[in-house]
């Protein structure tokens, strides 16, 4: 009888242990699946190496230098537009704009780093090395110009105001890494390259041109791009005047502004 | 849930052309049934046989443990987001007795767990070489040696990575249909016959005697020479030689494709080797520099104008971009003859494989 009790006890223990193991295994598998889902989702925004490092070591402050081309785009006269249309219409217009611009950027191997109000910061060569990044970024800017023409046609057909953009491009070395606080962190490239692209974008109003590239972008551009040289301009935070060029419409060979 | 099988995948770009006589001869030569995938590339008549021999080499081994070779193949396919190859390798493991649930668990474990330190080192190395962002180097190879792998074993790991990358690129670009292989483990009659299938598969997967290449000085000789002694070296060399002798695409176009893939990956040795071949074929160095800087130029012929911008797209294939690559492949196909197109697929796939493993070799 005692032997039976011991055997029953052992069996109960074994069964409980087995159930526990099964439960733990199932939890582990669920966690692993979720982790992989996250990893796959994040891989669209940061290099796989960075994601793996985050998973293995947690968010770290490691950064590395990369050669990138930064594209900064901004809507012209957005503030006055915001005052003229209903908030729900404004959001719809903005979302349509972001969607089209993002598609043009990713089609040319760039990735949208961040949306800043009505502005877009896109990077070429940040997630993987890209020796053709200047050509890609300029092609993306031209595709954005074309997408805006088509979007404006849609907006005007709905009785809505047309939009205009200014785009600035600069190529240089930036520091890539996870930037932010414990609460909000993103993979970003920081440094002068991004700042100069934003400042060059500001110059588009001054020069009445929609796409401007710096000399550093121009130097690596294919001859198929038609450019118009503009006088060097002083940029806030930059010691020397920066040479800029307007990108003309390659197909027609005339200036687009 | 198995994530690789969730990758969006286009319909197949090619139609298989199975010649029963060639199938019979090849079966006799390689001793196993010929994989159906080979016959999608029959527009270049030399390719099905060359692919069947390479396919056979994937099953065999010279020094390594059979299971490790399987995990290497699965990791490479996962890294390359190749649904077709992953499904094939998964079905084979299930045929050999691994349960589907275990396979699903292992698929996740490739990312988050290791089975042993030695195996972990091999799989991490595999992932690094296959991913190539950044390109693996000799230092990564040294890690493998320090983990306890011999020089021969390390070379064999590299040759299996090369074979995996090659077949992944070929299958993904042409969108070979993965569904039949994905469904295979669920078929009741195959489940019933699994023990017999396992015996058959084990017999098929043999340990081969080392095979010597002999003198080799053709294109990409240093990389091919580094595989000398391994069972997979002769079919790899055979594929490169046949590609080089292609009647459908001139050598200059093929060398340019290799140079573009090498540049995209940042493989200096590979680019230098391919540039030398292009110059040998008559292009002036200054013109070549311009062409490689912009993938365009008046010097390019019709094939090169299509092939060069396309070749760069094959360097990295992330899950979310598979259908984009397949769309671009379809665009290229529309502008080329069928034989030119499959030769281009073979060239980009081989370039990706050789550049990745070549970057881990010591500089000449």
Strands A185-190 and A227-233: unpaired
Strand positions, DSSP E, B200-311: none
Instruction: Please say whether the beta carbons of B335 and B306 come within 8 A.
Output: yes
Spatial distance between the Cα atoms of B298 and A195, rounded to a whole number of angstroms = 37
The pTM score is: 0.87
Burial A30-56 (b: 16+ CB within 10 A, else e): eebbeebeebbebbebbbbebbbbbee
Residues of B whose CB is below 8 A from A219: none
| Helical (H) or strand (E) element with A171 | strand A165-180
> What confidence tier does A255 reach under pLDDT thresholds 50, 70, 90?
very low
Letter string b/e over residues B15-26, b meaning 16 or more CB atoms within 10 A of that residue's CB: eeeeeeebbeeb
B240 closest CA partner among B106, B350, B107, B118? B350
Q: Each residue's pLDDT tens digit in chain B (364 positions)?
A: 447 989 999 999 999 998 888 888 888 888 777 888 899 999 999 999 999 999 989 888 888 888 889 999 999 999 999 999 999 999 999 998 888 888 888 787 665 445 688 888 999 999 999 999 889 999 999 999 999 999 999 999 999 999 999 999 999 999 999 999 999 888 888 888 888 888 888 887 777 777 787 777 767 888 999 999 898 999 999 999 999 999 999 999 999 999 999 999 999 999 999 999 999 999 999 999 999 999 999 999 999 999 999 999 999 998 888 999 999 999 999 999 999 999 999 999 999 999 999 999 876 5
> A176 phi and psi, to 5 degrees?
-100, 140
Q: Which of B266, B293, B294 sits opposite A129 (nearest CB)?
A: B266
- What does the alpha-carbon distance between residue A135 and residue A128 come to, in Å, rounded to a whole number? 16
- With CB atoms and an 8 Å threshold, state whether A135 touches B111: no
B contact set with A (CB within 8 A): 1, 3, 105, 108-109, 111-113, 131, 133-134, 263-264, 266, 293-296, 312, 315-316, 318-320
Handedness of CA A28, A29, A34, A35 (dihedral sign): positive
> Using CA atoms, how far apart are residues B250 and A154, in angstroms rounded to an integer?
47
Chain B contact for A43, CB < 8 A? yes
Q: Residue B164 and residue B170: Cα distance in Å, rounded?
A: 10
Tokens 């990108």 correspond to what residue?
Answer: A247
User: Rounded to the nearest 5 degrees, what angle is found at the Cα of A87, between the Cα atoms of A81 and A91?
Assistant: 85
Straight-line distance from the first to the last Cα atom of chain A, in angstroms, rounded to the nearest whole number: 96
Tell me how far apart the alpha carbons of residues B272 and B282 are, in angstroms, rounded to a whole number: 16
Q: What is the pLDDT of residue A36?
A: 63
Distance CA B260, CA B348 (A): 9
- Token look-up 């005697």 returns B209
Residues of A in contact with B296 (CB under 8 A): 222, 224
Q: What is the pLDDT of residue B61?
A: 83
Token pair 């915001």 is found at A82
Task: Tally A–B CB contacts below 8 A.
Answer: 56
Does position A159 have pLDDT exceeding 60, yes or no? Answer: yes
The reported pLDDT for the residue numbered A53 is 61
The minimum CA-CA distance between A132 and chain B, rounded to whole Å, is 7
Is the Cβ of A96 closer than 8 Å to some Cβ of chain B? no
C-beta of residue B22 within 8 angstroms of C-beta of residue B49: yes
Query: Considering only residues 102 to 131 of chain A, which have any Cβ-Cβ distance to chain B shorter than 8 Å?
Result: 127-129, 131
d(CA B115, CA B352): 28
Interchain proximity A222–B134, CB inside 8 Å = no
Is A34's Cβ below 8 Å from some Cβ in B? no
CA B87 – CA B353 distance, rounded (Å): 20
- The pLDDT of residue B108 is 74
Q: What percent of chain A has pLDDT over 90?
A: 49
Residue A113: strand, helix, or coil: strand
Token pair for B76: 């490479």
Contact B276, B84 (CB under 8 A): no
Residue B207 in contact with residue B60, Cβ under 8 Å?
A: yes
Rounded Cα gap, residues A194 and A173, in angstroms: 9
CA atoms within 13 A on the CB side of A181: 2
B131 CB neighbours in chain A (<8 A) are 48-49
In chain A, % of residues over pLDDT 70? 84
A181 φ, ψ (degrees, to nearest 5): -110, 180
DSSP class per residue in B105-173 = HHHHHHHH--S-HHHHHHHHHHHHHHH-TTPP-HHHHHHHHHTT--HHHHHHHHHHHHHHHHHHHHHHH
Asked if the Cβ–Cβ distance from B294 to A49 is below 8 Å, we say: no
Looking up tokens 């985050």 gives A54
Quote the CA–CA distance of A139 and A107 in Å, as a whole number.
10
Over residues A106-118, the mean pLDDT reads 91
Number of Cβ within 10 Å of residue B260's Cβ equals: 29
Dihedral of the alpha carbons of B19, B21, B24, B30, in degrees to the nearest 10: -80
Let me know if B225 is exposed, middle or buried by CB neighbors in 10 A (0-12, 13-18, 19+). middle
pLDDT of residue A257: 38
Structural Rg of chain B based on CA atoms = 20
pLDDT value of residue A43:
57
Q: Which residues of A touch B266 (CB under 8 A)?
A: 129, 131
Rounded to 10 degrees, the C-alpha dihedral B4/B6/B10/B15 comes to 60
B109 to A32: CB separation less than 8 angstroms, yes or no? yes
Which pLDDT does position A153 carry in this prediction?
Answer: 97
Query: Can you name the residues that pair with A69 across neighbouring β-strands?
Result: A124, A171
């Amino acid at each position: 009888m005692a032997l039976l009790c011991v055997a029953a006890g052992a069996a109960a223990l074994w069964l409980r242990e087995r159930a526990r193991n099964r439960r733990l295994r199932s939890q582990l598998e669920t966690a692993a699946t979720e982790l992989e889902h996250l990893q796959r989702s994040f891989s669209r925004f940061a290099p796989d190496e960075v994601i793996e490092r985050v998973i293995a070591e947690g968010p770290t402050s490691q950064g590395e230098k990369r050669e990138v081309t930064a594209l900064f785009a901004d809507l012209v006269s957005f503030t006055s537009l915001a005052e003229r249309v209903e908030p729900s219409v404004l959001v719809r217009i903005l979302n349509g704009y972001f969607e089209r611009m993002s598609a043009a950027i990713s089609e040319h191997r760039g990735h949208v780093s961040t949306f800043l109000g009505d502005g877009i910061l896109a990077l070429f060569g940040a997630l993987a090395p890209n020796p053709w990044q200047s050509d890609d970024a300029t092609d993306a800017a031209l595709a954005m110009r074309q997408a805006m023409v088509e979007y404006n046609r849609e907006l005007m057909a709905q009785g809505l105001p047309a939009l205009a953009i200014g785009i600035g491009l600069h190529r240089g070395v930036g520091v890539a890494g996870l930037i932010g606080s414990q609460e909000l962190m993103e993979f970003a490239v920081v440094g002068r390259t991004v700042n100069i692209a934003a400042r060059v974008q500001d110059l588009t109003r001054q020069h009445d041109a929609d796409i401007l590239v710096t000399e550093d972008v121009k130097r690596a551009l294919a001859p198929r791009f038609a450019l118009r040289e503009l006088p060097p301009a002083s940029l806030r935070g930059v010691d020397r005047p920066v040479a800029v060029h307007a990108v003309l419409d390659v197909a027609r060979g005339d200036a687009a502004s | 849930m198995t994530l690789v099988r969730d990758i969006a995948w286009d319909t197949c770009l090619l139609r298989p052309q199975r010649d029963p006589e060639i199938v019979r001869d090849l079966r006799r030569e390689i001793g196993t049934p010929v994989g159906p995938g080979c016959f999608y590339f029959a527009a270049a008549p030399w390719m099905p046989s060359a692919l069947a021999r390479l396919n056979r080499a994937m099953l065999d081994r010279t020094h390594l443990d059979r299971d490790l070779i399987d995990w290497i193949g699965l990791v490479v396919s996962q890294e390359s987001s190749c649904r077709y190859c992953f499904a094939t390798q998964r079905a084979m493991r299930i045929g050999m007795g691994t349960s589907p649930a275990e396979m699903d668990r292992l698929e996740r474990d490739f990312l988050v767990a290791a089975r042993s330190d030695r195996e972990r080192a091999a799989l991490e190395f595999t992932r690094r070489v296959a991913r190539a962002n950044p390109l693996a180097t000799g230092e990564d190879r040294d890690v493998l040696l320090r983990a306890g792998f011999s020089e021969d074993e390390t070379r064999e790991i590299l040759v299996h990575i090369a074979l995996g990358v090659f077949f992944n690129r070929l299958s993904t670009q042409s969108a070979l249909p993965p569904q039949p292989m994905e469904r295979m483990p669920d078929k009741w009659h195959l489940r019933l016959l699994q023990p017999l299938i396992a015996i058959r598969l084990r017999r098929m997967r043999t340990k081969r005697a080392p095979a010597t290449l002999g003198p080799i000085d053709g294109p990409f000789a240093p990389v091919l020479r580094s595989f000398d002694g391994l069972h997979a070296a002769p079919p790899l060399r055979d594929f490169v030689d046949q590609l080089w002798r292609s009647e459908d695409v001139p050598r200059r176009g093929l060398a340019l494709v290799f140079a573009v893939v090498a540049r995209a990956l940042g493989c200096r040795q590979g680019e230098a080797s391919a540039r030398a071949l292009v110059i040998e074929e008559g292009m002036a160095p200054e013109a070549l520099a311009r062409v490689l800087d912009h993938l365009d130029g008046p010097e390019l012929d019709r094939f090169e104008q299509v092939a060069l911008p396309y070749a760069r797209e094959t360097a990295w294939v992330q899950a979310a971009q598979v259908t984009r690559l397949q769309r671009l492949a379809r665009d290229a196909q529309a502008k080329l003859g069928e034989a030119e197109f499959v030769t281009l697929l073979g060239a980009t796939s081989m370039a990706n494989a050789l550049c990745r493993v070549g970057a881990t070799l010591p500089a000449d």
